[in-house]
Structure 1
Amino acid sequence: MAAHKLIDVLDKLDRLHMLLLELAVKKTDVIKKNDMDGLDQLLKDEQKFVAAIHTMEQERQRAAAVLTGNSESTMTECIAKLEANEKNALLSLQSTLHETIKRLKEQNELNQQLIYQSLQFVNLNLSMINPQPEQPTYTHPARSSAQHKKQSMFDSQA
């Protein structure tokens, strides 16, 4: 009975991770389109899936503890306690879940790179619009404050 519960929980975990992967792929398109409202909604949806995954992970830990009698049991320990057909199902689910998590990690790294490049582009444009004044050489602080004038973004004397 505990083995069936563990297999069911792993199957649900895999499906939740697949849904999270689909959201990550959608997030890539939203980032490319620069749709901030869409990105905000996707982040809210992601939080729901992450909370559900956290809940399922706790349930997996409880099912594994019932199966092995150890509160901190690993999947390898669980597999060792099972019969051949249950063992094969659990190994299959484990490899599928591992592959899904790997793909999710790669997609999230791509999204992170896209966001970082967008941020660099924004910073470049801001520095082109409002360049920093050059510091020529050292001057005495008392003299430089009198000569220092504020630089405005717009030239009002033009």
Structure 2
Amino acid sequence: MSEPLIEVLEKLGKLHESLYKLSLEKTTIIKENDMESLQQILKDEQTHITAINTLEVERQRLAKEFLHTEKDVTISDCIEAAPIELKEKLSTLQTKIVNIIEKLKEQNELNQSLIYLSLQYVNMSLDMIQPKPESYTYGRPNQPKAPQKPSFTAFDSKA
């Protein structure tokens, strides 16, 4: 009766674990600054996310059938309504999925921080190469300042 629901939850758990492994690989790739591998990892992650979304729709449909309702149903709702022999299995799957999602969230936050720091480093490097000119002229305080053209360019057109 609820065997398809359990199968879908097991598949969701495996997909989340696989997505977590990809996020661990992404951390290494970000540290190594390997842009080609990063692009491939992002494609793989998108494939996983699409599969997870598809399975989540299926889980929701099966959970509604299991509880004979049309409203949105959580795994906790299914656990409460399940027979005793299924409660433990559903509870175990729920705990597994919640734990892996938490680990995935933490890993993604780390990856986001690493990417942000990399971007800051690139911006700092660009600022060092191409400093912004400072204005040493005086003007009226109420008059808006006209935008200045940069005095230094990285490309020498006279060469």
TM range (shorter): 0.7 to 0.9
Residue-by-residue CA offset, 1:69-90 (whole Å, 9 max, x unaligned): 1231222221121111211000
In 1, the alpha carbon distance for the partners of 2:149 and 2:60 equals 65
- Residue 61 of structure 1 corresponds to 60
Measure how far apart 1:153 and its partner are.
2.9
Distance 2:89 2:11 in 1: 14
Report the equivalent of 1:114. Answer: 114
| Structure 1 residues 153 and 81, CA gap change in structure 2 (3 angstroms) | same
- The equivalent residue for 1:130 is 130
Deviates more, 1:21-30 or 1:79-88: 79-88
**Matching residue of 2:73:** 73
| Contact 2:130/2:154, CA 8 A, preserved across alignment | no
> 2: distance between equivalents of 1:40 and 1:155?
29
Show the counterpart of 1:51.
50
**Structure 2, gaps ≥5 residues long:** none
Pairing of 1:1-150 with structure 2 (within 5 A)? 1=1, 3-71=2-70, 72-139=72-139
The root-mean-square deviation of aligned C-alpha atoms, in Å, is 2.0
Counting matched residue pairs gives 150
Distance in 1, matches of 2:26 and 2:151, equals 40
Report the TM-score, using the length of structure 1 for normalisation.
0.88
Q: Identity across aligned pairs (percent)?
A: 45
TM-score computed with the length of structure 2 as normaliser: 0.87
Residue 137 of structure 1 deviates from its aligned partner by 4.2
